[in-house]
Amino acid sequence: MSESTLYRLVIADDHPLFRGALREAVSGLYSHIDIAEAGSFDEVAAILERGGDVDLVLLDLTMPGVRGFSGLMYLRAQFPSVPVVVVSANDEPAVIRRCMDFGASGFIPKTLAVEAMREAIAIVLKGNVWTPPDVDLSTAADADTTVLLARLATLTPQQVRVLMMLSEGLLNKQIAYELSVSEATVKAHVSAILQKLGVESRTQAVIAAAKIEVGQWPQAALS
């Protein structure tokens, strides 16, 4: 890649101070770089929906509008050509493995030194994958989790959003309002979700989704 290439990145984190620190780190990578910032998941989606070629999204796992890995799931389903690197304070090997299972192009711990962050981002921009070299990711998920991950991967972007909202306890009419669709459309999405996840009720779908959430760990540790 030429030094004259313009890179477009999105930094998605609800902490302004960390967004600023990450912007400073990324800005030193190349001479031509355009950086957009998002403080909520809706802002991330809005930036990507406006079009234009985004080269990389740096995504925090815990932002307003998402639960667990749902934000990553949605971005990979809706914008499959846009690489996503998760940047999180929770660097548990299980969390990193799950991020990679859902199609992340890398995982950067927030504790990583600035120069190391730059190197990691440069590697991903060259089309490669980066995870912390000192973390063992060889242990596979158990069989039940593997099946569930495969089922979740079949959901459409809109179905992912509906499942996210079901997990938040929203009713069909509330989901319809949020997504600007009819209640009948929401009911159809819910039925498809139940079928794809192999469950019989909304509650079972929410429980299934919760099994793969970052919420298995204390939220305070995930910012």
Segment 54-65, tens digit of pLDDT: 999 999 988 877
182 with 154, same domain? yes
113 with 149, same domain? no
- Contact of 34 with 61, CB cutoff 8 Å: no
- Residue 165's CATH number: 1.10.10.10
Q: Determine the 3-state secondary structure of 99 from DSSP.
A: helix
181 within a domain of the structure (yes/no): yes
pLDDT at 220 over 80: no
pLDDT at 217: 35
Angle of CA points 172, 75, 132, to nearest 5°:
130
pLDDT digits (tens, 9 = 90+) for 142-200: 777 778 888 888 889 899 889 988 988 899 999 999 889 999 999 999 999 999 999 99
- Average pLDDT for 102-127: 91
pLDDT at 4: 64
- Average pLDDT for 7-22: 91
130 within a domain of the structure (yes/no): no
Mean pLDDT over each residue of the chain, to the nearest integer: 85
pLDDT at 138 over 90: no
pLDDT at 3: 57
Q: What is the reported pTM?
A: 0.80
pLDDT at 199: 93
Select from 125, 155, 176 the last residue of a domain: 125
pLDDT at 24: 86
| Dist. CA 176–CA 133, nearest whole Å | 44
Domain enclosing residue 181, as ranges: 143-216
196 within a domain of the structure (yes/no): yes
Element (H, E) at 43: helix 41-49
| Dist. CA 85–CA 60, nearest whole Å | 9
pLDDT at 219: 36
pLDDT at 19 over 60: yes
| Dist. CA 197–CA 132, nearest whole Å | 32
b/e string for 106-117 if b means 16 or more Cβ within 10 A?
bbbbbebeeebb
131 within a domain of the structure (yes/no): no
Select from 66, 95, 125 the last residue of a domain: 125
CB atoms within 10 A of CB 150: 10
223 within a domain of the structure (yes/no): no
Element (H, E) at 38: strand 33-38
- Contact of 40 with 16, CB cutoff 8 Å: no
The total number of structural domains in the chain stands at 2
DSSP output for 194-216: HHHHT-SSHHHHHHHHHTTSGGG
Confidence of residue 28 (pLDDT cuts 50, 70, 90): confident
- Contact of 119 with 131, CB cutoff 8 Å: no
Considering only CA atoms, which of 28, 30, 37 is closest in space to residue 9?
37
CA dihedral sign, ordered 89, 95, 100, 101: negative
- Residue 38's CATH number: 3.40.50.2300
Confidence of residue 83 (pLDDT cuts 50, 70, 90): very high
pLDDT at 71 over 70: yes
